Amino acid sequence: MSWTFIFSFLLVLVASANGGGIAVYWGQNGNEGTLAETCATGNYKFVNVAFLYSFGKGRTPKLDLAGHCAGHEYAKISPDIQSCQARGIKVMLSIGGGAGSYSLASKDDARQVATYLWNNFLGGKSPSRPLGMAVLDGIDFDIELGSSKHYDDLARYLSAYSSKGKKVYLTAAPQCPYPDAMLGAAL
């Protein structure tokens, strides 16, 4: 088992102005309970819904919530997302992960991915929102594969949406060596 795999699923401490809170990845183990149950424990300030594992370079973005639901069923977790948020928990979409096909080919590609994320998971509008009408709080970068290029551009484009009235939070799961090879520029 690789350190990257272990790190991706361990609880990570996330710094905040008030001293910190615990984050957890949810969505890759069908035995972990529902998202609402995870939030109801009171253990977490952040839940990263994992993973959007395919995006960029013209790929069709793909979500994988292994063991929980598939395809058009993803919208059924919308009430759970809203339940978590009502408890004050930030719910993020984690992009990347240890498997999949993702990378960014250019600054324009990063802009297109940011637009997709805004319209389909954050505060924008799209007729095909995979998680239903729930509006996530932000994006978590768990970039473990491919190239490190243009994630700084993606972070800037996503941050710019905060000026549209809803704060877009950005988090990251850098790998153990610092500076992180994949996210150094974005961090």
Q: Could you give the residue numbers annotated as active site?
A: 144
E-state strands within 18-175? 21-26, 46-55, 62-63, 90-97, 101-102, 138-143, 169-172
Q: In the chain, what is the straight-line distance between the N-terminal and C-terminal CA atoms, in Å?
A: 26
Cα–Cα distances (Å) from 3 to 135, 151, 171, in that order, read 32, 22, 20
Among all chains, which residue has been given the structure tokens 């799209």?
126
- The rounded distance, in Å, linking the Cα atoms of 155 and 107 is 11
Q: Residue 43 corresponds to which tokens in the numbers above? A: 């253990």
